[in-house]
Amino acid sequence: MNAVIEARGLTKRYGKRTAVDGIDFSVPPGRIVGLIGPNGSGKTTTLKAALGLIDFEGELSVLGFDPRTQRDDLMKEVCFIADVAILPRWLRVKDAIDFVEGVHPRFDRKKAERYVANTKLKPGMKVKEMSKGMIVQLHLALVMAIDAKLLVLDEPTLGLDIIYRKTFYQNLLEDYFDEQKTIVITTHQVEEVEHILTDLMFIRDGRIVLAATMEEIGERYTEVMVPPDKVGAASALAPIDQRTVFGKQVMLFDGVCRTQLGQLGEVRNPSVADLFVATMKGTYA
């Protein structure tokens, strides 16, 4: 299998509104892909299509399955954490583990119990007694104990405090990810996933506007802090974005020789957040 997810002309319309507009993309195995976009950009719709939750136009293959016609087979190989981990309020931790063990053939009960043991969760605790962070921890324990080839995370840490968020991603790397698995993440908290991503896709108005590996991003984009006497020369090289920081112009360049840019000021790699803002300018107007 060459790609975990392969999309060609993927389109989803809701009445007259086009949520996803004929996009093409490919996700190789063993990667951690960030699908980043503003609200209403089409990222959640794209994930729902990949999970067989909605109908769509175009071609889409996930782990070799068509999500529209082979969803039952597909979901044996996929795990999903949504932006709101919805679990019944009456459900106890031990009952949740019992249930997943009974319905999923690839669930490792001991692994789930080991994860729970490292949290404040107790076997007899009910969901209604938990904070949102604890509910996400329970959901994560259940999902990470399933030996799935693809993990899809849609804003998994939304509304959690910074300690829970950092612990979540640390556990994801240490306890779940390996070269046989693939993770697709959507999030607004770009800074917190930047260090774990291998690939990046920006989506805007239902279209993919950037798709590259993190290595390619590092080679392609350069940020320069330009002193006042070099602004004219730097502007002549057509930066794709610029902003003012402490009285100096910070310019972002795409594909310009780094050696040449080094003569104009301090050179550095842009953060994913800065690249995202530059790419999305005008979207929030």
List, for residues 79-110, the tens digit of each pLDDT value.
Answer: 888 765 578 889 999 999 999 999 888 899 99
Q: Is residue 98 included in any domain, yes or no?
A: yes
pLDDT band at 285 (very low <50, low <70, confident <90, very high): very low
CB 20 within 8 Å of CB 8: no
What is d(CA 147, CA 108) in angstroms, rounded to the nearest whole number?
A: 8
Q: Is residue 135 included in any domain, yes or no?
A: yes
- For residues 221 and 115, membership in a common domain is answered with no
- For residues 201 and 222, membership in a common domain is answered with no
What is d(CA 174, CA 172) in angstroms, rounded to the nearest whole number?
A: 6
Residue 1, pLDDT score: 55
What is d(CA 167, CA 165) in angstroms, rounded to the nearest whole number?
A: 5
Residue 282, pLDDT score: 53
Q: Which of 179, 205, 231 is the endpoint of a domain?
A: 205
Q: Phi and psi dihedrals of 244, rounded to 5? A: -105, 130
- For residues 149 and 269, membership in a common domain is answered with no
Range of the domain at 129: 5-205
* pLDDT single digits (tens) 145-187: 888 899 998 887 777 778 878 887 887 787 777 778 899 998 8
CB 78 within 8 Å of CB 106: no
Tell me what the pLDDT averaged over the chain comes to.
Answer: 88
Residue 262 has pLDDT above 80, yes or no: yes
Q: Which of 161, 183, 205 is the endpoint of a domain?
A: 205
Q: Is residue 285 included in any domain, yes or no?
A: no
- Mean pLDDT, to the nearest integer, of 33-55? 92
Q: Tell which residue, 178, 250, 190, 243, has the closest CA to residue 214.
A: 190
- Mean pLDDT, to the nearest integer, of 46-63? 94
- Mean pLDDT, to the nearest integer, of 122-138? 88
Residue 173, pLDDT score: 81
Residue 45 has pLDDT above 70, yes or no: yes
- For residues 61 and 158, membership in a common domain is answered with yes
- For residues 30 and 74, membership in a common domain is answered with yes
Residue 272 has pLDDT above 70, yes or no: yes
- For residues 81 and 169, membership in a common domain is answered with yes
Domain count for the chain? 2
* pLDDT single digits (tens) 191-239: 888 888 999 999 999 999 999 999 999 999 999 999 999 999 999 999 9
Q: Which of 183, 205, 227 is the endpoint of a domain?
A: 205
Q: Tell which residue, 200, 253, 196, 203, has the closest CA to residue 224.
A: 253
What is d(CA 102, CA 98) in angstroms, rounded to the nearest whole number?
A: 6
* pLDDT single digits (tens) 109-118: 999 998 888 8
Residue 39, pLDDT score: 84
- For residues 201 and 225, membership in a common domain is answered with no
What is d(CA 95, CA 101) in angstroms, rounded to the nearest whole number?
A: 10
Residue 283 has pLDDT above 70, yes or no: no
Q: What pTM does this model have? A: 0.85
Residue 30 has pLDDT above 80, yes or no: yes
Q: Is residue 211 included in any domain, yes or no?
A: no
Q: Phi and psi dihedrals of 46, rounded to 5? A: -60, -45
